[in-house]
């Protein structure tokens, strides 16, 4: 080959950026999903911490300039955890671990790559929209209209990426399984991901429709109804509360069942019962109907029989799944040794937190208590999302070799971070639960009328909640450090 030929070949070789953007390697895509998701969870935790600092003095704006700014960060906390954090992190496992559990490879790899990058661009636009005084509207109309439109467009792209990724995962499980592998033979992580992705597809499509209505009306002059700044959040808020957020916990329950079975070297008894229970958990998690914005005159949708029955019915379903987990631990306890795997410990804690969250969710819908608009809703959100973060972290630690390589695992450091996440979640959940029972509002604003603050006892509870937020943030920081050390060790080994 001549010098000219060599130069031409060099010019035509793709750059590192081009290789990253055009790759269809599931592991590379999973790293984008995982890193982006965990970074968003960390940002969401920071937003929650800032809101917690503001709640220490409910009579004035000390951290933020106004109630509208508090609302922007309060809503950003929930969006970052769910649509920009937990769901993408679950997709990281769904695109690598699940296909291997099915004995095949990821179906529609180009579509999966498109989904990943579409979500990433949308996530960046969403974060930018919140940071430039946009977000999902504000109660007082104090946000920037164009920034709100940017947030809505970013959210639509993020939802579109998650929808497409869910379709790829579902197709992989249903039609990409190894010959002779039935759905009943799937490991629990793959099975619960299939059920969860099915529900995600149904709900995310509705959420996208809500966002389109709000965006189109927002671009009008002036907004008629859907795009009004004080109406946007209510059209999307159903995704961040009962029953919709339960579906995020479903794959975590599957992860716990698989990790405990692996740690104890014991198969779960009554497998068919657990498969039906996890499917029922997913069915009861469908929440697209629970939209308070479209309430008709009469009984609010949150108080209708379907919502109340679902809230109570999911408790025994979760209890059955956790009971199956406990039975496996009992029968295989002799195989655990003196130091159970850190990821198994964290996954069990996650499952217990999910059970506790379902109990809080049932209490929340008891009509005479009037808790729907109180911080009990925040406690419910914190318990579910804390459990999901803990379970996803356990999955990353257990299957980390498939994502970054076999070297550099630090189970002690990981367990410390997991205990901090679990402890912080409990502190936030319990403090907000008690505050809600004392009539503190879910969104407190910066004045006592909005907060519904009945006495000084709530201030002490808000301090406890803030300590919990600090512990959660500290645990996430430890995990990020662990992941960085793991990645660095494998890169050094490869070099």
pLDDT in tens, 384-395: 999 999 999 999
Identify whether 126 is part of a domain.
yes
Phi, psi torsion values for 6, nearest 5 degrees:
-65, -40
pTM of the model: 0.94
Q: Based on the domain organization, do 232 and 366 belong to the same domain?
A: no
For the stretch 17-72, pLDDT in tens is 777 778 889 899 999 999 999 999 999 999 999 999 999 888 787 889 888 999 99
Which region among 70-74, 330-334, 401-405, 468-472 has the lowest average model confidence (pLDDT)?
401-405
Which has more pLDDT, 383 or 143?
Answer: 383
Q: Based on the domain organization, do 279 and 228 belong to the same domain?
A: no
Q: Based on the domain organization, do 393 and 307 belong to the same domain?
A: yes
Confidence label for 452 from pLDDT (cuts 50, 70 and 90): confident
Query: CA 152, CA 139: separation in Å to the nearest integer?
Result: 16
CATH number where 108 lies: 1.20.210.10
Report which secondary-structure segment, H or E, holds 337.
none
Residue 2 has pLDDT above 60, yes or no: no
Q: Based on the domain organization, do 209 and 313 belong to the same domain?
A: no
Report which secondary-structure segment, H or E, holds 344.
helix 342-364
Q: Based on the domain organization, do 275 and 412 belong to the same domain?
A: yes
- Mean pLDDT across 242-252: 95
Q: pLDDT over 70 for what percent of the chain?
A: 95
Q: What is the pLDDT of residue 171?
A: 94
Report which secondary-structure segment, H or E, holds 32.
helix 26-54
Residue 8 has pLDDT above 50, yes or no: no
Identify whether 13 is part of a domain.
no
Which has more pLDDT, 154 or 6?
Answer: 154
Q: What are the CA-CA distances from residue 5 to residues 1, 14, 19, 286 (Å)?
A: 6, 16, 22, 59
Identify whether 9 is part of a domain.
no
N- to C-terminal Cα separation, the chain: 29
- Mean pLDDT across 376-403: 93
Q: Based on the domain organization, do 204 and 272 belong to the same domain?
A: no
- Mean pLDDT across 101-105: 88
Which region among 33-42, 114-123, 221-230 has the lowest average model confidence (pLDDT)?
221-230
Residue pair 322/351 in contact (Cβ under 8 Å)? The answer is yes
Identify whether 431 is part of a domain.
yes
The domain of 414 spans: 243-290+297-495
Residue 408 has pLDDT above 70, yes or no: no
Identify whether 4 is part of a domain.
no
- Mean pLDDT across 264-269: 92
Can you read off the two tokens belonging to residue 169?
């995962």
For the stretch 290-312, pLDDT in tens is 898 988 776 778 778 888 999 99
Identify whether 398 is part of a domain.
yes
Identify whether 17 is part of a domain.
no
Q: What are the CA-CA distances from residue 30 to residues 9, 168, 174, 295, 442 (Å)?
A: 30, 13, 20, 39, 35
Residue 488 has pLDDT above 90, yes or no: no
Q: Based on the domain organization, do 236 and 250 belong to the same domain?
A: no
Residue 166 has pLDDT above 50, yes or no: yes
Q: Based on the domain organization, do 202 and 332 belong to the same domain?
A: no
Q: What are the CA-CA distances from residue 293 to residues 177, 302, 359, 453 (Å)?
A: 41, 11, 26, 25
CA 440 to chain centre: 25
Query: CA 187, CA 190: separation in Å to the nearest integer?
Result: 6
Identify whether 3 is part of a domain.
no
Q: Based on the domain organization, do 255 and 226 belong to the same domain?
A: no
Residue pair 125/95 in contact (Cβ under 8 Å)? The answer is no
Domain boundary among the residues 240, 275, 308 is at: 240
Q: What are the CA-CA distances from residue 196 to residues 50, 150, 200, 360 (Å)?
A: 32, 29, 6, 22
Q: Based on the domain organization, do 460 and 350 belong to the same domain?
A: yes
Q: Based on the domain organization, do 218 and 249 belong to the same domain?
A: no
Domain boundary among the residues 240, 262, 279 is at: 240
Q: Based on the domain organization, do 257 and 234 belong to the same domain?
A: no
Q: Which residue has the tokens 């960085």?
A: 484
pLDDT mean across residues, the chain: 90
Q: What are the CA-CA distances from residue 75 to residues 30, 47, 140 (Å)?
A: 27, 9, 14
Residue 84 has pLDDT above 50, yes or no: yes
DSSP 82: I
Q: Count how many domains the chain has.
A: 2
Pick the closest to residue 348 from 242, 437, 256 (CA basis): 256
């Amino acid at each position: 080959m001549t010098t000219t030929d060599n130069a031409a070949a060099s010019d035509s070789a793709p750059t590192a950026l081009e290789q990253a953007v055009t790759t269809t390697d599931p592991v590379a895509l999973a790293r984008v999903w995982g890193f982006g998701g965990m970074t968003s969870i960390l940002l969401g935790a920071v937003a929650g911490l800032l809101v917690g600092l503001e709640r220490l003095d409910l009579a004035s704006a000390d951290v933020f300039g106004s109630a509208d700014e508090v609302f922007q960060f309060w809503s950003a906390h929930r969006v970052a955890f769910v649509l920009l954090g937990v769901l993408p992190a679950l997709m990281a496992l769904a695109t690598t671990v699940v296909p291997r559990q099915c004995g095949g490879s990821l179906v529609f790899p180009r579509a999966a790559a498109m989904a990943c990058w579409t979500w990433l661009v949308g996530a960046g636009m969403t974060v930018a929209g919140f940071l430039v005084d946009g977000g999902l509207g504000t109660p007082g109309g104090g946000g920037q209209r164009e920034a709100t439109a940017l947030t809505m467009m970013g959210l639509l792209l993020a939802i579109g990426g998650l929808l497409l990724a869910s379709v790829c995962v579902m197709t992989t499980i249903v039609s990409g399984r190894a010959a002779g592998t039935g759905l009943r033979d799937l490991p629990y992580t793959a099975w619960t991901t299939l059920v969860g992705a099915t529900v995600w597809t149904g709900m995310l499509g509705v959420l996208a429709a809500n966002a389109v209505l709000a965006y189109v009306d927002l671009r009008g002059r002036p907004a008629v109804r859907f795009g009004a700044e004080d109406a946007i959040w209510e059209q999307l808020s159903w995704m961040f509360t009962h029953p919709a957020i339960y579906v995020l916990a479903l794959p975590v329950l599957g992860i716990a069942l698989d990790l405990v079975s692996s740690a104890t070297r014991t198969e779960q008894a009554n497998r068919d019962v657990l498969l039906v229970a996890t499917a029922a958990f997913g069915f009861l998690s469908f929440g697209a109907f629970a939209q308070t914005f479209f309430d008709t005159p009469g009984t609010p949708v949150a108080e209708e029989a379907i919502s109340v029955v679902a809230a109570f019915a999911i408790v025994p379903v979760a209890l059955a799944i956790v009971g199956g987990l406990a039975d496996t631990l009992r029968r295989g306890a002799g195989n655990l040794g003196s130091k159970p795997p850190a990821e198994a410990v964290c996954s069990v804690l996650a499952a217990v937190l999910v059970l506790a969250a379902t109990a809080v969710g049932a209490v929340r819908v008891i009509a005479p208590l009037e808790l729907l608009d109180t911080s009990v809703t925040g406690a419910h959100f914190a318990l579910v999302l804390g459990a999901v973060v803990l379970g996803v972290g356990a999955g990353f630690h257990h299957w980390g070799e498939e994502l970054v390589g076999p070297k550099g695992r630090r189970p002690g450091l990981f367990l410390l971070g997991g205990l901090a996440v679990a402890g912080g979640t409990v502190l936030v959940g319990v403090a907000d639960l008690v505050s809600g029972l004392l009539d503190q509002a879910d969104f407190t604003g910066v004045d006592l009328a909005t907060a519904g603050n009945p006495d000084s006892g709530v201030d002490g509870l808000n301090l406890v909640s803030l300590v919990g937020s600090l512990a959660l943030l500290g645990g996430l920081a430890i995990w990020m450090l662990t992941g960085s050390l793991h990645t660095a060790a494998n890169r050094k080994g490869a070099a």
